[in-house]
Homo-oligomer: A and B are copies of this chain.
């Protein structure tokens, strides 16, 4: 359901093609919402059928013609209604590693430590990504577009991501110690 609003949301920033929407998502919301092109294209089609977006075709040679989507008035309204509504539930997560760790009491110490160290590597990369890629990207985006209010919210979501990674890394150190001692 929320892919719909991701697309409407980005289109509220300006007209775009499906391909460009995908790139936008990859550079920003992919941390809390992502989708493949094979899901985006049919969804845009459906949104057009529902009258929430319209599109113009820009002919190209050698590539398929561009379909540039624009948010309609009905789409803008639908989007704003969704946006203003408070979220009343915590979103249930699915985290395969935690599931594995939950059952890892039967494993020997070394296998669990390997798993934890592996996670450390992954989360260090992710933290660096938040600090070194996303942060400047947002700053640049705000500068170029002048979207200051939006920038405040973008930066807030980025900060949560960064803090989550720090928490995870702190926990991993603690977890490694605990496993070394007690398992």
Chain A residues in contact with chain B, CB under 8 A? 2, 5-6, 9, 12, 28-34, 79-80, 82-84, 86-107, 111-112, 114-115, 118-119, 122-123, 126, 147, 149-154, 156-157, 159-160, 163-164, 166-168, 170-171, 174-175, 178-179, 182-183
- B178 and A118 contact, CB distance less than 8 A: no
Closest Cβ of chain B to A133, distance in Å, is 15
- B170 and A163 contact, CB distance less than 8 A: yes
| Interface of chain A: mostly helix, strand, loop or mixed | helix
Q: Which chain B residues lie closer than 8 Å to A96 at the CB level?
A: 2, 33, 87, 91
In the bound assembly, the distance between CA atoms of A123 and B166 in angstroms comes to 19
- A183 and B152 contact, CB distance less than 8 A: yes
In the bound assembly, the distance between CA atoms of A150 and B108 in angstroms comes to 11
In the bound assembly, the distance between CA atoms of A179 and B84 in angstroms comes to 15
